Amino acid sequence: MRWIIVRIFKAKGWRIVGNLPAHLDKYVIAGAPHSSNWDFVFFVGATAAEGVRPAFMGKHTLFKGIMRNFMFDMGGVPIDRSRRANVVEQVVEEYNRRSDLALVIAPEGTRTSNGEWRSGFYNIAVAAGVPIVPAWVNPQEHVLGFGEPIEPSGDYGADLMKIARFLRDARPDYDRYKVLEAQAQALIDAAG
């Protein structure tokens, strides 16, 4: 399946701006916008082109029966919401268990987001002690970009602003990235 996805990525003429960090084995890839079901295909294609096997979180019930091998082969990390440990703790366990893990997260949460991000990606990165690699996609122009890794400082607003500025540099007029920048500024103002 991964081979088919990479073929689709290449056949559509996608290009990559920036690179994933070759010197790191573990990180969170925070990708935005999450505007299509095709986002997964774009990110699998781009990460494969970079020589990285991405991982993603999925509901644990999807990892049973005939779907089990497929979900694991595609890089799935099962998350059991009924367990006492929360999502962040379960993902940190996975980071601790593996020698490498590039976890792709869509911080907007849903495709209908206005551009505001949820903090789960950040909480995972902080708890696991791994950097965040910001990533953007422009499906209209078939371009996907990766930024430099950002080490979480513990100041969510300031770190979110770094990500927002990177995304705004990539696509200055994109409305969702303007919303993200405003969200980061509001967090900075509230903390200051």
Can you say how many angstroms the Cα of residue 9 is from the centroid of all Cα atoms in its chain?
Answer: 18
Burial 130-169 (b: 16+ CB within 10 A, else e): bbbbbbbbbeeeebbbbbebbebeeebbebbbbbbbbbbe
pLDDT tens-digit readout, 137-179: 998 899 999 999 999 999 999 999 999 999 999 999 999 999 9
Helix (H, G, I), strand (E, B) or coil at 66: helix
* Contact between residue 30 and residue 159 where contact means Cβ atoms under 8 Å apart: no
pLDDT tens-digit readout, 29-79: 999 998 777 777 778 788 888 889 888 888 898 889 888 888 888 788 989
Can you say how many angstroms the Cα of residue 110 is from the centroid of all Cα atoms in its chain?
Answer: 13
pLDDT tens-digit readout, 137-148: 998 899 999 999
Q: What is the pTM for the complete model shown?
A: 0.90
The residues facing 102 across adjacent strands are: 27, 54
* Residue of 107, 87, 124 whose CA lies nearest to 39: 107
Q: What pLDDT is attached to residue 160?
A: 98
Tell me what the mean pLDDT of segment 99-119 comes to. Answer: 90
- pLDDT exceeds 70 at position 1: no
Question: Quick one: which H or E segment has residue 118?
Answer: none
* Contact between residue 45 and residue 6 where contact means Cβ atoms under 8 Å apart: yes
Assign 84 a pLDDT band (cuts: 50, 70, 90).
low
